[in-house]
Structure 1
Amino acid sequence: MEVINIQKKLSKFDKQWHPHRITIVDDHQVYLSKISGDFIWHTHEDSDELFHVVKGTLYMKFRERTVQVNAGEMLLVPKGTEHCPSTKNGEEVHLLVFEKLNTKHTGNTTTKKTISDYPTI
């Protein structure tokens, strides 16, 4: 058992929209991600996603509204809900995300941003 220092882990990478796994809890993974701008619209049919904003402000777009999530706050995106993570004004946002191990971060959509295996840091 070791303490996980989130800030130290975040200092190990710069690439945006590229999840980095920090631990596994049963059949779920916990990863860190740095994001800026808009991601892609996607859905996770079989998995909820829990976003914790470590730094900055996340704007989670849904078709019917946008939810603002500030540093220190969390948002649960229920399985089957179409969504698009976003930031404003070029701000880099740092996220801690919890999801099932087999979940692709682009969900049901495959693009050049799709990553098949998250590096562990």
Structure 2
Amino acid sequence: MTRVRNEPIELRAVLDSFAELWSPRIVTRVNDYDVRVARVEGEHIWHAHDDTDEFFLVLDGELLIALRDGGDPAAERTVALPAGSVFVVPRGTEHKPSSPAGASILMFEPTGTLSVGDRHEAVPSHIEATTGHALGGPA
């Protein structure tokens, strides 16, 4: 279990401590939410979180998030998030994050939220289905 730390946490040092893609680390907790960071590159999978919104902050690089508003593939759109941008995917919205050139991101999610959501495609081997790893935890 990741505990709230009583000292500053340098995000660059955390990101430098692991190389795995799509494998979030839990930096700290705020109430019942995890603050997670992840390195991402390539494509994630289409998925949705039925009971929670998902907050993204791009620390470096660019993150693309394809969205299916109302679950309709014909209503698909993509938002581009450069470094310093934030975006919230509303609960129940199918989405597919990607980053062709790679990015580092920070996310707020309720503790225990699975990285591949409640509804998702088959999970390929380059994506880890996890609720996040404690700092210094398994890679």
When the two structures are superposed, what TM-score results if normalisation uses the length of structure 1? 0.92
Most deviating of 111-120 and 52-61: 111-120
Give unpaired runs (5+ residues) of structure 2. 1-5, 69-75
% of aligned pairs identical?
35
C-alpha displacement of 1:115: 2.9
Which residue does the alignment assign to 2:3? none
CA distance in 2 between counterparts of 1:116 and 1:87 reads 19
How far off its partner does 1:117 sit?
A: 4.1
Q: Which amino acid aligns with 2:7?
A: E
Amino acid corresponding to residue 3 of structure 1 in structure 2: P
Amino acid at match of 1:70: P
Contact 1:53 1:95 in 2 (8 A): yes
Does structure 1 residue 80 correspond to structure 2 residue 92? yes
More helix by share: 2
Distance 1:67 1:117 in 2: 25
Which of 61, 64, 78 is the equivalent residue of 1:59? 64
Instruction: Tell whether 2:49 aligns with 1:39.
Output: no
The counterpart of 2:103, out of the listed 93, 109, 115, is: 93
Deviations 1:30-76 (A, max 9, x none): 11100111100000000111000001010000132000001001000
Q: Does the Cα contact within 8 Å between 2:58 and 2:105 map onto a contact in 1? A: yes
Aligned length: 119
**SS state of the match for residue 42, structure 2?**
coil
Q: What is the distance in 1 between the residues matched to 2:8 and 2:57?
A: 18
1:68 maps to which residue? 80
Equivalent residue number for residue 132 of structure 2: 118
Native 8 Å contact 1:36 1:87 kept in 2? yes
Aligned to 1:26: 31
Q: Which runs of 5+ in 1 are unaligned?
A: none
Question: Secondary structure at the residue paired with 2:47?
Answer: coil
- Give the number of the structure whose alpha-carbon radius of gyration is greater: 2
Aligned to 2:18: 13
1:77-110 CA deviation, whole Å, 9 max, x = no partner? 111110000112xx11100010111210100236
Question: Paired residue for 2:73?
Answer: none
* Aligned partners of 1:55 and 1:94 also within 8 Å: yes
Amino acid corresponding to residue 38 of structure 2 in structure 1? S
TM-score, normalised relative to structure 2:
0.81
Instruction: Give how far 1:116 is off.
Output: 3.5
